[in-house]
Every structure is written in structure tokens, then in C-alpha cells.
Amino acid sequence: MPELRMRVNGKEVTVEVEPDDLLAYVLRDKLELIGTKIGCGEGECGACTVLVDGQSVTSCIYPALKAQGRDVTTIEGLRRNEELHVIQQAFIDCAASQCGYCTPGMIMSAKALLDANPNPSREEIEAGISGNLCRCTGYYQIVEAIHLAAQRLAERGEEGSHGS
Amino acid sequence: MEAKFIGQSLPRYDIASKVQGQRKYPQDFNMEGQLHAQVVWSAYPHARVLKIDARQAEALPGVVKVITWRDVPVNEYGINIMDQPVLVGEGAKVRWVGDRIAIIVAESEKIARQARDLVRVEYEPLSVVMDPRQAMKPGAPLVHEERDSNILKHIPIRRGDIEEGFAQADVIVEGYYVTDAVEHAYMQPEAALGYIDEQGRVTVIAAAQWPHDDLHQIAHMLSLPEDQVREIVPAIGGAFGGREDMYIQHLAALAAFCTRRPVKMVWSRTESVQRSGKRHPFYMRHKTGATREGKLTAVEIEIISDAGAYASTSIPILSNAASFSAGPYVVPNARVDAYTVYTNNAVTMAMRGFGATQPPIAYELQMDKLAGKLGMDPVEIRMKNLFEEGSIAITGNRMSHGVGIKETLRQAALAAEWREENGHWRKPALPPAEAPHLRRGIGVACAYKNVCYSMGFDDTSTAEVTLNLDRSGEIVRALVKIGASEVGQGVWTALAQIAAEALRVDIRKVNLALVDTAQVPSAGSSSASRHVYMSGNAVLRACQRALAKRERVLHEETGESKVTVTYTYHGREARATTPLDPETGQCEPHISYSYGTQIALVEVDTETGEVQVLKLWAANDMGRAINPQMIYGQVAGGVHMGVGYALTEHFIQKEGRALTKSFSEYYIPTVRDMPREFVNILVEVPDPSGPFGAKGLGETPTLSTAPAILNAIHDATGVWLDGVPATPERVFMACRKSL
């Protein structure tokens, strides 16, 4: 079996994978990172979104071996010690999660968006999560949460600390 | 005393774990030594199974067992009528493509998938019953041969004299409305883990809306006493009615029962879309009469619903549909004939609205068509006919206990800039569209729905409350045990708020026990918008009695450090419902109601048929808002489903086969498909029998979205789309024909 070496949430990991293994399954089944959800297995719903070298990818159709030598961030990698990530806290404050199954992927898409564009317009937020389906919330509170997170990150930036 | 927790937007108890990806859903559970199972599905929508040959599959290395009908102790199940085989046997019939032939249990999921292709099944194909309107006719091929007709149920409602009613009418409008099947499309696909627990109980971890009913059905299937079966409900990734029936629970339980090992089963999204139940397609014929002044005089309604292959809850859904078929309006003369009919299409079942979702497509378009004929404003004609306290419905019952429908219309209309002068209402002038092929229009729709089980069904919920006391008798911690499934709607947070309010303790001291049928009492299902009312009443009363018991403990100085009270709330404590009279449909149908109005402002692109909702106003009467922020989310989510129902969600079946496979073909609205602006209006007209006046909310926000959008499309283009979904193709064709 080929060996996959990558950094997951800042930690070096080495796992044996089949050549046709997909990243989401490796994360969930081999690394027990169950926060990455599989909603469709076809890259349609975005529940499995993770970051690879800072770019958001739908990990359910992303060949695991493509992550060779790369940096992978999952929902489990956002929290810093006792403190939730700004986006996570904003999702709580805006009640942006109901059943919660889309939530990790939604937050990872939001992270990719805010990392690239710290001050997005409503249209840009919508474009950033248009690949993430949610069946519960109607999205408004999610958009509001991402907006709030951007605001808080900007405030923090002015104070000279890092939000992410 | 002023409420401390009721009416507060407290964060839901589970949200911190959800935003961190820590909350476990059924697919997130694994056990040492677990096996993996896959289903061998029926290859035909209607056929006789002649032979099942599993030898090749069994011979594949890694296959532990191929479970067939011979392995099922009692091969039947069903939430309402046990008309479904667990596994279809040789000599028996498959009746839709969601029927199952076998379950492969193997050492890995990959092997299980390989093996399922090796099961050879010989079928004798039978003619497929596709259209319920044809299936009703004498001589149609029978889906269930032991019955003499495919008609599962006919429900008549007779009130007044429709001939006289139509004679009094100055205008009469006739219409025919068709709604398609709808997929629940919960984000978490079907998954379960079955195992034998340390006490030898057949146990299943699954996302279930009605765990205690599953328990009953699994025990029946395995011929075990109910205390030998257990269901544990972890986080549920959405449900919307689709997890009210058993769908995977019994299969995982059976696999564990047969192998005595942990067995995990996970479905693909395609299996979820093609092999799970749907919302009923309806065919509705309406004739409505009104006087020149806009007063309704009579309705004549025929509803034909496609039950699919098995009954599921088609009968109570039909009963609901019939009772709501004339809308929230006073109509003195009514004749309704509603039928639900077996076909070889997808099984149809509960889905947000439970029979109250399809009728507004018909009755609300009828109202606008009447208004058009009378030259009357659509708000005004509704105001003349909407229920008030004491109005009589077509089922003969008196509407009462907080009839908020008019208030929802009034507030929504005023917010959307309707103007009222001397009882006359006038539509706002709309900002013009930016190009001639873009047309703007505004539409209104009202709807209502029961809260709790209906028509004689004894609705109950049981709560067990334990207060842990310190030496001075202060409550250190309160534990609520109740079998209410948290499907994402927020029921646990609402119940905790009710408990904290009743106990006057900090909400952080209130804990809810995990739903495990071995540990918590039955609360009924997470459906019918009922938990806030039913389970809220059970928790409230259990808390009140626990406080009284604590007083005795303190007064008598018994030294007890814990008091426990179990209380079963019966819906009939407030209001007893009665079944529909078999000939006239007259009855006391429902315990309580929730009401809603929506107004949609749309822009129609007549060159592409695309419809964008620019703004939507939603006014809902839920009695009392326990948690406004969560209610906002419920309403926005309901509107999301309503927009999909109106415009994009098209589950296509052809000759009993699902052509729709995945989210790339079944379009649930993305963030960009939602109304550009959304206005949420809370209307609180309390029902005194609800906890703190609360009724319920879960379903009503979905009901009026689609008819409001269809009425707005008409306002924009002059074209009627008499059904859903109004896909771009359908809108384009309709516009091309008449513009």
C-alpha cells in the first residue's frame, strides 16, 4: 500500500492508503477526524470541505495521495487551545447551525473565503458558500455569521493580533 | 412573574459541539470488530421474485452472511399498517425500487458492495402502476393483490349544501393543480450501527424521529419482547418527516441479530434519493364560488394522492389534507372527496406539513383567481373570509384558542406596504424591473396546520424530571429524561428553557438525557410541530410536580437529596379530538393550530423562465416565541424548502423508476437561490393550553411560500402555473404560450 505523508492540522501524519482512497475517508476512517462530514460523495454538497494548502477542496472526491506532502486543515484544526476560532464563535452567536451536518464544511469554506478576502461583500460571502448546501437554516444566519466573523477579525487585526 | 428564559434567544445546547465537528451522527460511530452491510435493492418497480441465488456472493472471501427473507422472524413492518416486507422473498412481489431482496454483511464495505452485484435474482416483471388516477379505476393492475382496489382510503367531507352554495355565488372559479414528489434531502444520509449490547439487547444507533415506535416495530420483526430491543438516537442530520418511518433501523438491527456482531450500514446519496420515501404528489381539482362582495359560498374539491407502494402514513396525511383543503377560510358549503392510491412509485410519507403543504397550492391560487374575477385586492378577499375566533371549519369544528391567521396577514401586508383604507386593501406599486423581458410581481398566501396528532389519536408525551438537591433544598442540577428526538429543530433547547422557567433555576443547571429507549420514556415523534406543545406541557407539569414534591421533602425533613417525578401529558387534557365521520367528515380534528402568511416579490425572466424571489415577508403565529433566534432559523429554513418546492425541486419518476439520482439533478436551493431580502415577523396569539401559550412552528413556515410565489409569478406575467415545481422550462413554456 502506498504511504501518504501529510500535515494534518499542523501535525505530521503518515498513513497507508489505497491508490483510489479519497481524502475524506482517510481523514474519517484512518485518522478518526469525524468532523469532516460526507453528505453526497460526489462533491456536490460541500459537507466534506477541508483546506489543502489553504485552498478549500471537497475532500470526498479529492484523491488522498494528492495531499502528499501538503498541509491539510480540518474543522478540528481551527480551535486554538481553549479558544474557538472567530468563525466558530460567530456561528454560535448567530445561531447559524441547526442539524449541524453541513456546519463543519460551511465553516471551512468561510475560512478559505476570509483568509483570501478579509472584508467580503454579501455577494462575495454568497459566492464563497454557494458550493455548500444546507437544508435547515435558509442560509441567512450563516451569511450573518460570516459577516460578523469578518468584522471581529478586522477589529482584532486593528488590535494587532491574529484571528486565524 | 416575568419570564426569565421563555422568549430569550439562548444558544442551542448542542451548537458549540456542532461548530467544532465533535457531535456524532450515526455514521460517526464505529465498534471493535464491526462488519459492514449493503442492501440488494429490487431491480424492478413491480415484479414477482422467482428465484434468489446468493451462492456466488456467499462464496466471496470476506462475506460473512447474505441475509434473505428466510432469516426474518416476522417479515413485515410499517408505521401505520404493516404492509411492507422487510426483505422480499421468492414467490412474493417487489412493489417499488426501494424494496429489498437481501442484506450483504461483510468484513468491509468494499466487499459488501462487490458481493451485492453477485446476487442473482430472477424476476417476472409485472405491469407498472404509475398514475394514481388510472390506478383508481376498476380493472387496474393491483399493487396489493389481497385488496380489491388500489384505493387505500377515500375520505369524504360533506358540509351544508354545495348546490345551494354555488347558486348563491356570483363568480365561480375552477382549477386543476398538480404537485410533484419531493425528496426530504436531509444532509446526513442514512446510516446505522446495529449491535448486541452488554445485556443481550438488539441495539441500533440511528437517526430516528420516533424511537419508541421503531422499538415496537423492530421487536415485532424479530419476535422479541420490547425490553430486548433498544434504540439510541445520537445527533440527527435533518429529518423533515423522512425519518419518522423506519428506513434503516430495522435492517441494521436484523443484521446484528443474525450475525451477533456489530454491523454498520451507510447509504450513498443516490440510494438516499432513489430508495427513500417522498412527499406525496397530489392531483387537486377545485371549484370555488363567491359572492360579488367576495364572500366564499361553496367549494367542491377532489384530491388524489399518490401513496406509492406502501401505506406509510398516507391515510393520516390524507385526513389532514382533506381537513385543510378549503384553507383557513369560512366556507359554509363544502364537498370534499380525497383519495390516496397505491402505485409502484416511491413510497410517500410524512414531510414537513403532513398533508397541509399541497392544499395551499390549490386553495391559494383559487383565492387569487377569484380576486381577479371580482376585481378585488388579494389581501382584501382573504380578510373577508379568514378564520376568526369561533369560525366554523368545513369539518364542523369551531376554531378557537388563539386564531392568529388574520393578524399574520395584516402584519405581513402592512410590512410589504399594502395600504388599508376603510376596510379596503391596496397593493403597493412595485419598483420597475431593469429590462423589458424582466417582469415583477407580488403574491400573497395564507395557510395553517395542526399542532400535535389529530383525529382521535391519543397524543401523549412523558417526561421524567429529577431534581438533585443540596442540604438546604436548593436545586443543584435538574435532569430531564424525555424521548424527544433533536433533529436540528432545537427541541432540547426549547424544553430546557421551559424546564428552567418552571423550576426558576439557571438554565445551565438543566440537563437533558440522551435519547436511548432503554433510559428515557416515550415522547412520541418529532413531527406534527408537536414537541413544544406536547413535550413542553409534559416537562412543565413534571417540573411543577417535582417542585411540590421538594416542598414536602423539605417540610417533612425526610433527608432525601433527590426528587423524581414522571408525568405523562395527554393532549386530551386540553382538547379531545375525534375521528372524521366516515360519511360526512365532521369531527373535532385537531388539538391546536399554527398559522402563517407569506408575501413574495418576484422577478420573472420571460426569456429564460427563471424566477428570482427578490423579497419575502413571513409572518407566523406560533402562540408564544420560546426562542426568537431559533424561530428565525426555523422560518428561514421553512422558506428554503418552500422556495425549492415552488421552483427547483423536481424528483422525476418514469415507469416507477427514479430518474433523479443526486444533488446534481435534485436542486435544493443554494444561498443564491434564496429571497434576496427576508423579513421575519413573529405574531404571538397564545393558546392557553400550550406551555406559556406556545403552539408550535416547525411546519407552517413551509406552507405558504410556494403559493405566494406562484401568485407573484401570475402578478408579474399574467400566467398561471397551476402546480409545482415551476421550473424555468415550465415558466418559459407557459410565458411563451400566452405572452
* Residue B434 sits in the same domain as residue B343: yes
Q: Is the dihedral of CA B161, B164, B166, B171 positive or negative?
A: negative
Within 8 A of B36 by CB-CB distance, chain A residues are: none
Residues in A touching B185 (Cβ below 8 Å) = 135
Please give the backbone phi and psi of residue B183, each rounded to the nearest 5 degrees, phi first: -90, 135
Question: How far apart (Å, rounded) are the C-alpha atoms in residues B280 and B317?
Answer: 9
Q: Where are the beta strands (DSSP E) in B475-591?
A: 475-481, 510-512, 515-516, 562-570
Is it the case that residue B293 has pLDDT exceeding 70?
Answer: yes
* Phi, psi at A160, each rounded to 5°: 90, 15
Which pLDDT value is given to residue A1? 85
How many structural domains does chain B have? 3
Give B-chain residues touching A78 at CB under 8 angstroms.
Answer: 20
B306 and B260, same structural domain?
A: no
Residue B333: is its pLDDT beyond 60?
yes
Of chain B, the percentage scoring pLDDT greater than 70 comes to 100
**Is there a single domain that holds both residue B285 and residue B433?**
yes
d(CA B334, CA B724): 25
| B339 shares a domain with B242 | no
Asked if the model's pLDDT at residue B482 lies above 70, the reply is: yes
Asked whether residue B396 falls in the same domain as residue B514, the answer is: no
Q: Which amino acid is at B305?
A: S
Chain A contact for B639 (CB, 8 A cutoff): yes
Cα gap B143→B307, rounded to integer Å: 11
In a domain, B314, yes or no: yes
pLDDT at B737: 86
User: Is B184 part of a structural domain of the chain?
Assistant: no
Interface of B with A in 230-289 (CB under 8 A): 235-240, 268-269
Residue A76 has pLDDT above 70, yes or no: yes
- Convert the pLDDT of each residue in B345-390 to its tens digit: 999 999 999 999 999 999 999 999 999 999 999 999 999 999 999 9
Shared domain for B415 and B512, answered yes or no, is: no
Q: Are residues B325 and B421 in the same domain?
A: yes
- Residue B338 resides in a domain: yes
Chain B residues touching A30 at Cβ < 8 A: none
Where a domain ends, among B266, B287, B306? B266
Residue of B nearest to A101 (CA): B237
> CB of B20 within 8 A of CB of A81?
no
pLDDT tens figures, B582-597:
999 999 999 999 999 9
Over chain B, what is the mean pLDDT?
Answer: 97
Of the residues B547, B573, B599, the one at which a domain ends: B573
pLDDT band at B317 (very low <50, low <70, confident <90, very high): very high
How many CB atoms within 10 Å of residue B407? 19
**Domain encompassing residue B537:** 458-573
User: Both B516 and B569 in a single domain?
Assistant: yes
Alpha-carbon gap: A135 to the closest alpha carbon of chain B (Å): 6
Q: What is the 3-state secondary structure (H, E, C) of B161-211?
A: CHHHHHHHCCEEEEEEEEECCEECCCCCCCEEEEEECCCCCEEEEECCCCH
Locate the DSSP E strands across B317-433.
333-342, 419-421, 424-426
The CATH number that applies at residue B504 is 3.30.365.10
* Residue B109 falls inside a structural domain: yes
B239 and B327 part of one domain: no
Does a structural domain hold residue B173?
no
The rounded percent of chain A whose pLDDT value lies above 90 is 92
Q: Per-residue pLDDT averaged across B207-221, rounded? A: 98
Q: How far is CA B202 from CA A134, B249, B257, B258, in A?
A: 34, 11, 6, 10
pLDDT at B225 over 90: yes
Tell me the mean pLDDT in the region A51-75: 98
CATH of the domain at B54: 3.90.1170.50
* Domain-located, residue B362: yes
Whether B324 and B447 map to the same domain: the answer is yes
Q: Which of residues 644-673 of B touch A (CB under 8 A)?
A: 662-664, 668, 670-672
Single residue among B208, B238, B266 that ends a domain in this structure: B266
Which pLDDT tens digit goes with each residue over B501-546?
999 999 999 999 999 999 999 999 999 999 999 999 999 999 999 9
pLDDT at site B1: 65
* B705 and A CB contact within 8 Å: no
Q: What whole-number distance in Å separates Cα of residue B341 and Cα of residue B317?
A: 12
* Nearest in space to B243 (alpha carbons), one of B179, B178, B188: B188
Closest to B698 measured CA to CA, from B621, B634, B603: B634
Are B482 and B606 in a shared domain? no
Q: What is the mean pLDDT of residues B476-493?
A: 98
Q: What kind and span of H or E run contains B151?
A: strand B151-159
- In this prediction, residue A164 has a pLDDT band, given cuts at 50, 70 and 90, of very low
Q: At what angle do helices B628-643 and B705-717 cross, to 10 degrees?
A: 50
Q: Which amino acid is at B369?
A: K
Q: How many CB pairs under 8 A join A and B?
A: 166
Cβ of A92 within 8 Å of Cβ of B16? The answer is yes
Does residue B388 share a domain with residue B313? yes
Q: What is the mean pLDDT of residues A147-156?
A: 96
All domains of chain A in start order, with CATH: 3-77 (3.10.20.30), 86-159 (1.10.150.120)
| Edge-to-edge strand list for the sheet holding A55-58 | A11-16, A3-8, A71-73, A49-52, A55-58
Contacts of B638 in chain A (CB under 8 A): 138
Asked if residue B370 is part of any domain, the answer here is yes
* Shortest Cα–Cα distance, B183 to chain A (Å): 11
Residue B415 to residue B411: CA distance in whole angstroms:
6
Residue B557 within any structural domain of the chain = yes
Name the CA dihedral angle for B342, B348, B349, B350, rounded to a multiple of 10 degrees: -130
Whole-angstrom distance, CA of residue B295 vs CA of residue B396: 18
The DSSP output letter for B53 is E
